């Protein structure tokens, strides 16, 4: 069960990806989380990408492809995974097809949301520092409802950076969605629905693809 999630920043990829991964006992692999972790730990990769993350740009394809290649070879990813935040460009998608050769083509789930909701969603977003779950909207609790952890803001969840992240999405990732759209394992789901309805649509879309033989894309 190899699942790729695409959608605008703030479309719910992290939240839905984490819940889907928990429901099905597979890892959620978020390239954004991996890069933020590298920055926080001050690794060589972290030092290289820090300013790009701060600016809301995209890190170079070859760099992120290497990171994902290494992660997908780990034992826990062999039976399946949910990828959140990768691929984000056409060269990354082509590279992913290569990385998955012999392992089954990915089911591509496009979380479609109206662009006018994402800014409010992201600007109000708090992330649990223990489990990574996002909480959006007017804050109703001081602690994470899933695990009781404290909340932090993402450093790049500020209005100017969000605008640049949306531009990066429109220029690089939106064409990728069109490239995937013709494939037999592409499904668009309405990300404007309540969380539980999105989760149900997400499960249904993935199982529908798998039932239809999970054919390779190209």
Annotated active-site positions, please?
Answer: 13, 88, 125, 154, 165
- In the bound state with ligand AMP, the residue whose beta carbon lies nearer, of 61 and 203, is 61
Distance CA 91, CA 112 (A): 22
Selected from 20, 86, 110, 169, the binder of ligand AMP by CB under 6 A is 86
Pairing of strands 28-30, 2-6: unpaired
Distance CA 108, CA 92 (A): 14
- Least CB distance from residue 131 to ligand AMP, whole Å? 15
Fill in the per-residue mask, 124 to 143: x = in contact with ligand AMP (CB under 6 A), - = not in contact. Answer: --------------------
Backbone angles phi, psi at 102, to 5 degrees: 85, -5
Distance CA 86, CA 64 (A): 8
Question: The tokens of 159 are what?
Answer: 């209005």
* Total number of residues that touch ligand AMP (CB under 6 A): 17
- Least CB distance from residue 16 to ligand AMP, whole Å? 13
**Of the candidates 201, 211, 152, 159, the residue with the CA atom closest to the CA atom of residue 7:** 201
According to CB under 6 A, which residues from 18 to 37 bind ligand AMP? 31-32, 35
- Residue 52 found at the interface with ligand AMP (CB under 6 A): yes
137: Cβ contacts below 8 Å, ≥ 6 apart: 121, 124
Q: Which helix (H) or strand (E) holds 208?
A: helix 195-211
According to CB under 6 A, which residues from 159 to 198 bind ligand AMP? 165
Selected from 64, 118, 127, 198, the binder of ligand AMP by CB under 6 A is 64
Selected from 1, 5, 9, 201, the binder of ligand AMP by CB under 6 A is 9
* Interface contacts to ligand AMP, rule CB under 6 A: 9, 31-32, 35, 52-53, 56-59, 64, 85-86, 88, 92, 156, 165
């Amino acid at each position: 069960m190899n699942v790729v999630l695409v959608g605008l920043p703030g479309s719910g990829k992290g939240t839905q990806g984490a819940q889907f991964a928990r429901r099905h006992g597979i890892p959620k692999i978020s390239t954004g989380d991996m890069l933020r972790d590298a920055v926080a730990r001050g690794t060589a990769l972290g030092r290289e990408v820090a300013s790009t993350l701060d600016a809301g740009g995209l890190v170079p394809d070859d760099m992120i492809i290497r990171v994902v290649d290494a992660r997908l070879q780990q034992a826990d990813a062999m039976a399946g995974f949910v990828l959140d935040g990768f691929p984000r460009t056409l060269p990354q998608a082509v590279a992913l097809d290569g990385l998955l050769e012999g392992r089954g083509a990915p089911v591509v789930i496009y979380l479609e949301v109206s662009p006018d909701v994402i800014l409010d969603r992201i600007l109000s977003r708090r992330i649990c520092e223990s489990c990574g779950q996002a909480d959006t909207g007017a804050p109703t609790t001081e602690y994470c409802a899933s695990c009781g952890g404290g909340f932090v803001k993402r450093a790049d969840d500020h209005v100017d950076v969000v605008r640049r992240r949306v531009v990066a999405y429109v220029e690089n990732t939106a064409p990728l969605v069109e490239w995937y759209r013709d494939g037999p394992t592409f499904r668009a789901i309405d990300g404007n629905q309540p969380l539980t309805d999105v989760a149900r649509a997400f499960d249904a879309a993935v199982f529908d693809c798998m039932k239809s033989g999970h054919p390779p894309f190209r």
